[in-house]
């Protein structure tokens, strides 16, 4: 697997994870997000789960799907 496929994912999702974590941290520190509230906890879990689900989908279509074959041919 060439790195030309890997670096965009590392950049997009690595930098995105850092920026997202900073945003969530700032929201918690400022009091905008209250972790004692059930709705806010669910929001945080939804954001993290959605991020991981998108990362998994991108990885499937980048690393696994190109090797799917039609009718057993290569």
Q: What pLDDT, on a 0 to 100 scale, did the predictor assign at position 5? A: 87
DSSP state of 73: -
User: What's this model's pTM, rounded to 2 decimal places?
Assistant: 0.83
Q: Is the pLDDT of residue 72 over 90?
A: no
For residues 17 and 34, what is the distance between their CA atoms, to the nearest angstrom? 21
Q: What pLDDT, on a 0 to 100 scale, did the predictor assign at position 67? A: 84
Q: Is the pLDDT of residue 14 over 70?
A: yes
Contact present, 17 and 51 (Cβ < 8 Å): yes
Query: What percent of the chain has a predicted confidence (pLDDT) above 90?
Result: 77
Domains of the chain: which residue ranges? 12-17+26-66
């Amino acid at each position: 697997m060439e790195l030309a496929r890997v670096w965009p994912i590392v950049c997009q999702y690595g930098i995105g994870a850092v920026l997202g974590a900073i945003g969530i941290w700032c929201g918690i520190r400022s009091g905008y997000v209250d972790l004692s509230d059930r709705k806010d906890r669910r929001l945080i879990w939804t954001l993290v789960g959605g991020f991981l689900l998108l990362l998994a989908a991108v990885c499937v279509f980048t690393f696994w799907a190109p090797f799917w074959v039609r009718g057993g041919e290569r």
